[in-house]
Amino acid sequence: MRLRNVVRTSAFRLILLYTVVFALSVSLLLSFIYWRTVALIDRQARETIESEIRSLAEQYQLRGLLGVAEVMDQRVKQPGNSDHVYLLASPSKLPLAGNLEAWPDTLDDDTGWIPLTVVKSDEGQLIPHTNLARTLILPGGFYLLVGRDMHERGKFRRIVLEALAWSSAGGVLLSLIGGIVVSRRMLRRVETVALTARRIVAGDLTQRVRGNGSGDEFDRLADILNAMLDRIERLMAGMRLATDSLAHDLRRPLTRLRSRVELALLQPAAAVEDREALADVLHQADAALLMFDNLLKIAMAESGPMASELRRLDLTMLTRNAAELYEPVAEESGIDFIFEASAPAMILGQPELLAQSVANLLDNAVKYTPSGGRIVVSVTATATTATLSVADSGPGVPAADRERVLERFVRLDECRSSPGSGLGLALVAAVARLHDAQLTVDDNAPGLRVTMTFTIIRPEAARADDRQAAALTADEWLRIPE
Amino acid sequence: MRILIVEDDAETAEYLAKGLSEGGHVTDHAASGADGLSMALDGSYDVIIVDRMLPGMDGLSLIRVLREEGRATPVLILSALGQVTDRVKGLKAGGDDYLVKPFAFSELLARLEALARRASAEAKIITLLQLADLKLDLLARTVSRGGKPIDLQPREFLILEYLMRHAGQVVTRTMLLEAVWDYHFDPQTNVIDVHISRLRGKIDKGFSPPLLQTIRNAGYCLRAPA
């Protein structure tokens, strides 16, 4: 991780931006404080000078020049008054009393306020001090000057400027360090995601992004990415399987079809046999078409739900509908067929795909249950879930194969002889995923028990929707866009 | 029947025309939606077969304009799109039936017959269906033959009702699945056959003549022998 990479991260840039904003706000604050304090110092100095010069003028009124000079001397000698400046000058501006050596040659404006620079010796060094002074012409033409050393104000400015410089420098340094640390951390997290992504791009779809378990935004991103990767992997696997299967399984009926036609052509024209051959051709073509249909439906279910197609429906009613279709078939085969359901179970679903899933489960059950066996179809609802269960007393599926039978075109060897495409349970699995339903394939001891568990929707909402359950209502009819 | 075929695919159109003329029908063919519309407005057809995907004006627009012009000629929509919403859109546009490609020709023939018959029948409210000595009371939900009451399961009743409403016509397994179960897919097992044989056991067994007949490679037909 080179420094250049760190500097180029967005975190670093963000922190740099914050530093600039921070420095700007500190200088703004300090300038404001400085400006207000200086104004206050100035005002106080002016007020003191004003009152002093007035009291000196009063002394002049009362006691004449001598009185003024006396008071001036007292004030100069008073301890702590070293920054006070006084001067009494003759009409020709010759100094008469006070601690200023000469009348300043600064031009007097009309206000009487003048800037004044006095050179003082501080620890053996001569330093010019800025003063603020007020002049007044006394009756008789004498000049009076009272001033204050404003050096403190300059000191204060230096302190403020220093504080500004130090805080800015410190802030910039700290945020630079912080920026580098934060950016390095972020870069490291991003780097792990990027590394995983690179491995996936290289072809290893099983790679997953690892979070650090803190549950922060990177962990959440990792979770979402992993969920996305799971889905992509599943789709890829499904697609690969579909293409593989298309090559193998769909070729079977089409090959048979072809050979049947060829045979029919080889035979001398004989109406009855021709018709039989053609009927068989038709049958095989239908089988191939049915496979295509089911593959398309599975692909559709796996590509996710279209919002407009999901609606409230009663799983009980939907299942009863299918049960009433298969019951006579089961009974005809000498199978005991039982349907158990009590209350309506309202779920959000795609009616057609769900109906076909239930039909597929019943179809399998009827197909694999021997005469004298038993099929139990039930819908049970709890406060939060609705479970559809189809249990038969057929040969069942060995534990090792229970995951596998949900895949496309997987047919257990024992069933190869019976008709079927190997797509029935794959469609059920895809439809279960589409509905976020939990699908289980269990041992019914003996036999197979398949359950689909759906999330139920609020019973109060469900009751009002009972009517909509079986077929499209007039209202829904109108809601489907043209 | 005079049938108009609006279909842009020449091969499909030829297949349709050939099959329909062999079935004793007269057909006209339009290869685009605009041609189809003008022919439908000009000629008097018993049924119109419209492909959904057509160049220029699509099948649904054609039907909409036809209905706006006040023509009630029954329309059967042919389409490769077979989802519920596709069917609903087709029927909402004014189509009378919807058949998804690929289809069995016997299925198409049966549906065209049903459409033409429905159009000629008065739209009156029927409460009693009758064929020979078989009676089905829609209000009392009872069935009797030769005066003897017959006990039917609810689904058997619905199947018989559909067959009686289409008496004399071929009714396919798919038509029954759609009408009685609202299923628009074919279950792998021939479940309908079992329902029919049970129904036959109730309405034909012990009575003469048999009314419920199986039409090979097509479906069933409820009719009194001439």
DSSP letters, A423-460, are -HHHHHHHHHHHTT-EEEEEE-SSSEEEEEEEEBP-HH
A136 and A56, same domain (yes or no): yes
Residue A180 · residue A12 · CB < 8 Å: yes
Mutate to test the interface with B, among A278, A319, A335, A352 (most CBs of B within 10 A): A352
- The tokens describing A126, both together, are 């001569």
B37 and B100, same domain (yes or no): yes
Query: How many CB atoms are located within 10 Å of the residue B155 CB?
Result: 19
A267 and A385, same domain (yes or no): no
Q: What is the CATH number of the domain that holds A126?
A: 3.30.450.20
B37 and B78, same domain (yes or no): yes
B19 and B103, same domain (yes or no): yes
- Domain membership of residue A169 (yes or no) is no
Residue with structure tokens 């045979």?
Answer: A263
Residue B90 · residue B100 · CB < 8 Å: no
A325 and A428, same domain (yes or no): yes
Residue with structure tokens 């139920």?
Answer: A456
B18 and B98, same domain (yes or no): yes
Q: Distance from CA of residue A479 to its chain's centroid? A: 34
Average pLDDT over residues B192-213: 92
Dihedral sign, Cα of residue A169, residue A174, residue A175, residue A180: positive
Least confident of A185-194, A197-206, A263-272: A263-272
A364 CA: distance to closest CA in chain B (Å): 9
Which tens digit of pLDDT belongs to each residue from A158-175?
888 888 888 888 878 888
Q: How far apart (Å, rounded) are the C-alpha atoms in residues B49 and B7?
A: 8
Helix axes B59-68, B84-92, angle to 10 degrees: 30
- Most confident range (mean pLDDT) of A132-141, A211-220, A278-287, A386-395 is A386-395
Residue whose C-alpha is closest to residue A37's, from A185, A176, A154? A154
Which run of H or E residues covers position A315?
A: helix A315-332
Which tens digit of pLDDT belongs to each residue from A57-95?
888 888 888 888 888 888 888 877 777 888 888 888 888
Q: How far apart (Å, rounded) are the C-alpha atoms in residues A382 and B34?
A: 56
Q: Mean pLDDT over all residues of chain A?
A: 80
Residue A366 · residue A395 · CB < 8 Å: no
Q: How far apart (Å, rounded) are the C-alpha atoms in residues B213 and B222?
A: 6
A435 CA: distance to closest CA in chain B (Å): 17
Query: Virtual CA dihedral for A62, A68, A71, A76, nearest 10 degrees?
Result: 160
- The tokens describing B90, both together, are 């087709």
A306 CA: distance to closest CA in chain B (Å): 11
- Domain-ending residue, one of A253, A287, A302: A302
A320 and A450, same domain (yes or no): yes
Does the beta-carbon distance from A325 to B89 stay under 8 Å?
Answer: no
Which tens digit of pLDDT belongs to each residue from A250-269?
666 666 666 666 666 666 66
Confidence of residue A33 (pLDDT cuts 50, 70, 90): confident
Mutate to test the interface with A, among B61, B181, B183, B189 (most CBs of A within 10 A): B189
**Long-range CB pairs of A289-292, under 8 A, 24+ apart, other chains included:** A289/B102, A290/A421, A290/B186, A290/B188, A291/A249, A291/A250, A291/A253, A291/A421, A291/A423, A292/A250
Q: What is the CATH number of the domain that holds B42?
A: 3.40.50.2300
Strands B2-6, B47-51: pairing is: parallel
Range of the domain at B157: 128-222
Query: Quick check: A355 contacting B, CB < 8 Å?
Result: yes
A116 and A232, same domain (yes or no): no
- The tokens describing A424, both together, are 């029935």
Residue B212 · residue B200 · CB < 8 Å: yes
Which run of H or E residues covers position A308?
A: none
Residue whose C-alpha is closest to residue B180's, from B220, B131, B149? B220
Q: How far apart (Å, rounded) are the C-alpha atoms in residues A113 and B195?
A: 119
Least confident of A204-208, A368-372, A468-472, B151-155: A468-472
- Domain-ending residue, one of A158, A174, A193: A158
Q: How far apart (Å, rounded) are the C-alpha atoms in residues B64 and B93?
A: 6
- Domain-ending residue, one of B77, B96, B120: B120
Residue A421 · residue A291 · CB < 8 Å: yes
- Domain membership of residue A166 (yes or no) is no
Contacts of A471 in chain B (CB under 8 A): 182
Q: How far apart (Å, rounded) are the C-alpha atoms in residues B106 and B175?
A: 11
Give the pLDDT confidence score for residue B191 in this predicted structure.
Answer: 92
Least confident of A31-45, A69-83, A354-368, B127-141: A69-83
- Domain-ending residue, one of B98, B120, B142: B120
Contacts of A477 in chain B (CB under 8 A): 88, 92
A426 and A285, same domain (yes or no): no
B105 and B8, same domain (yes or no): yes
**Number of domains observed in the structure of chain A:** 3
Mutate to test the interface with A, among B58, B84, B188, B193 (most CBs of A within 10 A): B188
Query: Quick check: A229 contacting B, CB < 8 Å?
Result: no
**Number of domains observed in the structure of chain B:** 2
A386 and A451, same domain (yes or no): yes
Contacts of B83 in chain A (CB under 8 A): 300, 309, 352
Does the beta-carbon distance from A290 to B194 stay under 8 Å?
Answer: no
Residue whose C-alpha is closest to residue A300's, from A392, A430, A467, A443? A430
Contacts of B195 in chain A (CB under 8 A): 325, 328
Which run of H or E residues covers position B9?
A: none
Strands B219-222, B212-215: pairing is: antiparallel
A225 and A255, same domain (yes or no): yes
B9 and B111, same domain (yes or no): yes
- Domain-ending residue, one of A286, A302, A318: A302
- Examine the pLDDT at A296 and tell me if it is beyond 80: no
B184 and B138, same domain (yes or no): yes
Q: Which among A420, A421, A470 has CB closest to B182?
A: A470
Cβ-proximal residues to A145 (8 Å cutoff; 6+ apart), any chain: A85, A86, A87, A88, A89, A98, A100, A103, A104, A133, A134, A135, A136
- Go through chain A and tell me how many residues it has: 482
B189 and B210, same domain (yes or no): yes
B89 CA: distance to closest CA in chain A (Å): 6
Q: How far apart (Å, rounded) are the C-alpha atoms in residues B223 and B166?
A: 9
A330 CA: distance to closest CA in chain B (Å): 10
Q: How far apart (Å, rounded) are the C-alpha atoms in residues A20 and A16?
A: 6
> DSSP 3-state assignment of B137?
strand
B116 and B136, same domain (yes or no): no
- The tokens describing B36, both together, are 């189809």
A288 and A336, same domain (yes or no): no
A410 and A289, same domain (yes or no): no
Query: Quick check: B89 contacting A, CB < 8 Å?
Result: yes
**Long-range CB pairs of A167-172, under 8 A, 24+ apart, other chains included:** A167/A26, A168/A23, A168/A26, A168/A27, A171/A19, A171/A22, A171/A23, A171/A26, A172/A19, A172/A23
- Domain membership of residue A151 (yes or no) is yes
Q: Which among A328, A355, A480 has CB closest to B183?
A: A355
Residue A172 · residue A166 · CB < 8 Å: no
Residue A27 · residue A21 · CB < 8 Å: no
- Domain membership of residue A201 (yes or no) is no
Give the pLDDT confidence score for residue A417 in this predicted structure.
Answer: 53
A365 and A432, same domain (yes or no): yes
A368: exposed, middle or buried (C-beta count within 10 Å: 0-12, 13-18, 19+)?
buried
Dihedral sign, Cα of residue B64, residue B69, residue B74, residue B75: negative
- Domain membership of residue A366 (yes or no) is yes
Give the pLDDT confidence score for residue B171 in this predicted structure.
Answer: 94
Give the pLDDT confidence score for residue B200 in this predicted structure.
Answer: 94
Range of the domain at A100: 10-158
- Domain-ending residue, one of B75, B104, B120: B120
Q: Which of residues 90-109 of B touch A (CB under 8 A)?
A: 92-93, 102
Strands B75-79, B47-51: pairing is: parallel
Q: What is the CATH number of the domain that holds B149?
A: 1.10.10.10
What residues are paired with B150 via a beta bridge? B143
Confidence of residue A459 (pLDDT cuts 50, 70, 90): low
Q: How far apart (Å, rounded) are the C-alpha atoms in residues A290 and B188?
A: 9
Contacts of B93 in chain A (CB under 8 A): 482
Which tens digit of pLDDT belongs to each residue from B123-171?
567 788 999 899 999 888 999 999 999 999 989 999 999 999 899 999 9
A280 and A334, same domain (yes or no): no
Fill in the amino acid letter for A459.
Answer: P
Q: How far apart (Å, rounded) are the C-alpha atoms in residues A29 and A337?
A: 86
